[in-house]
Structure 1
Amino acid sequence: MYIEMTDETGQLPDGIMDQSKKLLMFAADYMKLPEKKEMAVTFVDNQRSHELNLAYRKTDRPTDVISLEYKPDDEEFFFDEEMELPKELLEELDPFIGELYISIDKAKEQAKEYGHSIEREYGWLCVHGFLHINGYDHYTPKEEAEMFSLQEEILTAYGLTR
């Protein structure tokens, strides 16, 4: 998996970008995603998180992680309307799965609030966002149980425990 990482803040703690990339690669392998998949992660401050949250979710406050799942539009490939393409071909033509925006301010606040390391918090946010861009959600108790269970499974298997 190719992961583009950007720190818009210039304040990301040492090693976090490296850890985040390794953890996301591990999560992709764990979930058996095709190697050709691509995603982007951008570390932002609360002001930028607030702007993005308002623009994409119509929520007027900063948040810890914003996950923008990318779903390719079949129409952009200019095929005959009656032609149905196999999912595998569509995925190969467009490997981008989405992008995450992680607030470094929220990560600091939450690590302190939950009493765990900053590394654990960034790991949690990365995997949580990663699962969202791979179709997981937590709107219902059943979805939440499934997503949070898989999230903890990945973090534990990677060795990033509480």
Structure 2
Amino acid sequence: MDVTFIDETNQVSEEKIKEIDDLLQFAADYLKLPEDTEMSVTFMDNAAIQVINRDYRGKDAPTDVISFALEEESDDEVPVVFEDGDDPLPRNLGDIMISIERAKEQAQDYGHSYDRELGFLAVHGFLHINGYDHMNPEDEKEMFGLQKEILDAYGLKR
């Protein structure tokens, strides 16, 4: 899987980006995604993610992770098709935005490492752009169960 990383904060080390890339590659293999799948991860601060949260979700507060699934469509949208023709385009899952400030705050609040929180948020956003959600108890059980399976199998436990 091809993951494009953007660090708007200039605070995420190359090593940390490599760790998140390894985790997302593991998650992609876990879900058996095609190798030519693409996605992006942007690291930002609370102020930047608050603007996105306000503009796209109507919530004027910083959040930890926001995902935009490219394959998700509403009733008035035209579906994005990747498999047509002899030379199909790679599957582009979408974009994940993570507030590293919120990740640090939540790691402290939850009593685990920043690495664990950042990994958790990356997998959480990754599952969202793969169609998983937690809007009702049944979906939440499925998504959070899969999230825990992936993190545990990778070795990133609380």
Mapped partners of 1:93, 1:12: distance in 2: 30
Structure 1 residue matching 2:132: 3-state secondary structure: coil
- Listed one character per residue, the Cα deviations across residues 99-136 of structure 1 (whole Å, up to 9, x for unaligned) are 00000110000000000011000000000000000000
Asked if 1:129 is matched to 2:116, the reply is no
> Post-superposition shift, 1:94?
5.0
> Post-superposition shift, 1:88?
4.4
Which stretch of structure 1 is more off in the superposition, 32-41 or 14-23? 14-23
Structure 2 residue matching 1:93: 3-state secondary structure: coil
Asked if 1:53 is matched to 2:53, the reply is yes
The alpha-carbon distance between structure 1 residues 75 and 22, as it changes in their structure 2 partners (threshold 3 A), is: same
> Post-superposition shift, 1:4?
0.3
Aligned residues between the structures: 153
Mapped partners of 1:75, 1:110: distance in 2: 37
Asked if 1:143 is matched to 2:135, the reply is no
The answer to whether the 8 Å contact 2:66/2:97 transfers is: yes
Say which one has the larger Rg: 1
Out of 99, 102, 108, the position equivalent to 1:106 is: 102
Structure 2 residue matching 1:102: 3-state secondary structure: strand
> Post-superposition shift, 1:15?
2.6
Whichever residue aligns with residue 25 of structure 1, its letter is Q
The answer to whether the 8 Å contact 2:72/2:131 transfers is: no
Mapped partners of 1:161, 1:72: distance in 2: 30
The residue aligned with 1:24 is: 24
Name the structure with the higher helix share.
1
The answer to whether the 8 Å contact 2:38/2:90 transfers is: no
Structure 2 residue matching 1:24: 3-state secondary structure: helix
Mapped partners of 1:76, 1:157: distance in 2: 34
TM-score of the superposed pair, with normalisation by structure 1? 0.87
Mapped partners of 2:13, 2:106: distance in 1: 15
Asked if 1:152 is matched to 2:148, the reply is yes
The residue aligned with 2:71 is: 71
The residue aligned with 2:114 is: 118
Whichever residue aligns with residue 28 of structure 1, its letter is A
**Structure 2: where are the runs of 5+ without partners?**
none
Work out the percentage of aligned pairs sharing the same amino acid: 52
> Post-superposition shift, 1:12?
2.1
> Post-superposition shift, 1:13?
5.1
Q: CA RMSD in A?
A: 2.2
Asked if 1:161 is matched to 2:120, the reply is no
Mapped partners of 1:140, 1:72: distance in 2: 18
Structure 1 residue matching 2:10: 3-state secondary structure: coil
